[in-house]
Amino acid sequence: MDPLLREVRFPELDIPVMIASKLSVQPSGPIPVAAGDSLYLSNLDDVIGARVFTPTVYFYRSSGGGVPSAKVIGILHDALACVLVPYYPLSGRLRETEKGKLEVFFGTDQGGLLVEARSNKSLDDLGDLTVPNPAWEPLVFKFPKEEPYKLLDMPLVIAQVTVFSCGGFSLGLRLCHCICDGLGAMQFLRAWAATAKAGRLIVDPEPCWDREIFKPRDPPRIGFPHTEFMRIEEGSNLTERLWGTKPVQKCYTITREFQARLKALAQTDSFLCTTFDALAAHVWRSWVKALDVRPSDYQLRLTFSVNARRKLDKIRLRDGFYGNVVCLACAVSTVSELAKGGHQWTTTLVRDARLGITEEYLRSTVDYVEEHRPTRLEFGGKLTITQWTRFSIYESADFGWGRPAYAGPIDLTPTPQVCVILPEGEADGMILCICLPKSATERFKELLSRVNWREGQT
């Protein structure tokens, strides 16, 4: 395996967690809504892919004697109550309106949820804290018998503080994706952390709602086919390969040198691309080849979110907007084209899909969702790559106890057709996490470590 790309293994373990208390967190001051009021969600907030909670976990090591657990809970509770004043939509709930559209509504006894938990394990018992581990799942609170993808009548911010025997602790967080995209979530997290650290409310920038700015046009104007939402017909062995047995989560560190090599191989004097374009292309090709997808003429999709904020010209977002401003880019290829086309050819597909996200594409997405309102997530012949490297997640999560030892997601196995690219903590590389059937893991690792492989050379 290329020394610039290394697999990081994590231990299988059991983390016993005892729930000590559950605290409702209400805004600490007046908010500009009353019981019975509601807030509009845009179709970018309400699209099927955003109808999820995003779980993350943050680990904080004990320094010296550690921070008393009661003090940790108190600081986080009071700071959350403070930030729920300017971020008051997170104190509401979601409900369906006509045609299945979601909105935020406000009633009595809502607010966020803060859970206090304890474990007799120490952070050292958890092993390597540099990459996500599915065994950390007990550190993020779920209600007993909670249905998958449940959103309605749920707290929109759910936090669990788990104190370990060593004095260190974790913060397991679930934020509703309908309320904020990745950048919006970091804006909220920074405000909560800064408020906890200072002992007084700090929000910079001041949050604004403004979801009506993305209302659909009248009449709607759908100017693109929006392949990203289209039904995927079963016609390959991919679903059976991925879902036939329980997938395993694999993580790899990718150095800056390896990223640069991939990008250099894709570029020419007349063709420029980003590191993401080149890396996504390489992962997609390696994933398809390792899974031995058949038949060769089966059409595959690669989807990934594109931040559309910088694409906007006619639409003016105020500083502090924390809603969803992402579109789903989609590259399409047959199995044989991916294998034979090579690295540069596939990078071109990814680059063109990324550059295809424009302000007009965003407007068309809003109108498409208004007209068709997709109600199911499509898997089939698709890989989705999510990039977290620009979220400043480590820098955003200093609540006064320093930078977390780890900050990021936990378990990818419930959605094995997702690949996540994370920042590498203290290092300057990336962590690539992906789920595969065990039988394909060695082949994928081999292909991933070889740049610009072609059919017939493998």
Catalytic residues: 177, 398
Three-state DSSP at 218 gives coil
Three-state DSSP at 292 gives coil
Q: Which two tokens stand for residue 429?
A: 């590389």
> Scanning the structure block, which residue is given the tokens 């080849």?
289
Three-state DSSP at 278 gives helix
Four-residue CA torsion sign, 39, 44, 48, 51:
negative
Q: In terms of residues, how long is the chain? A: 458
**Spatial CB neighbours of 370, under 8 Å, sequence gap ≥ 6:** 43, 216, 220
Closest CA to 121 of 21, 10, 12, 13: 13
Q: Annotate 306-363 with DSSP letters as a single string.
A: EE-GGG-SSS-PPTTB-S--EEEEEEEEEHHHHHHHHHHHHHHHHHHHHHT--HHHHH
Q: Long-range CB contacts (< 8 A, 24+ apart) of 437-444? A: 437/241, 437/242, 437/244, 437/245, 437/247, 437/248, 437/291, 438/245, 438/247, 438/248, 439/245, 440/241, 440/290, 440/291, 440/292, 441/248, 441/250, 443/289, 443/290, 444/250, 444/286, 444/287, 444/290, 444/291
Cα 331 to Cα 127, 151, 237, 260, 444, distances in angstroms? 38, 30, 20, 22, 21
**Spatial CB neighbours of 115, under 8 Å, sequence gap ≥ 6:** 19, 21, 22, 23, 141, 158, 159, 160, 161
Task: Judge residue 206's burial from the number of C-beta atoms within 10 Å of its C-beta, 0-12 exposed, 13-18 middle, 19 or more buried.
Answer: exposed
Distance CA 287, CA 446 (A): 11
Stretch (H or E) spanning 170? strand 169-176
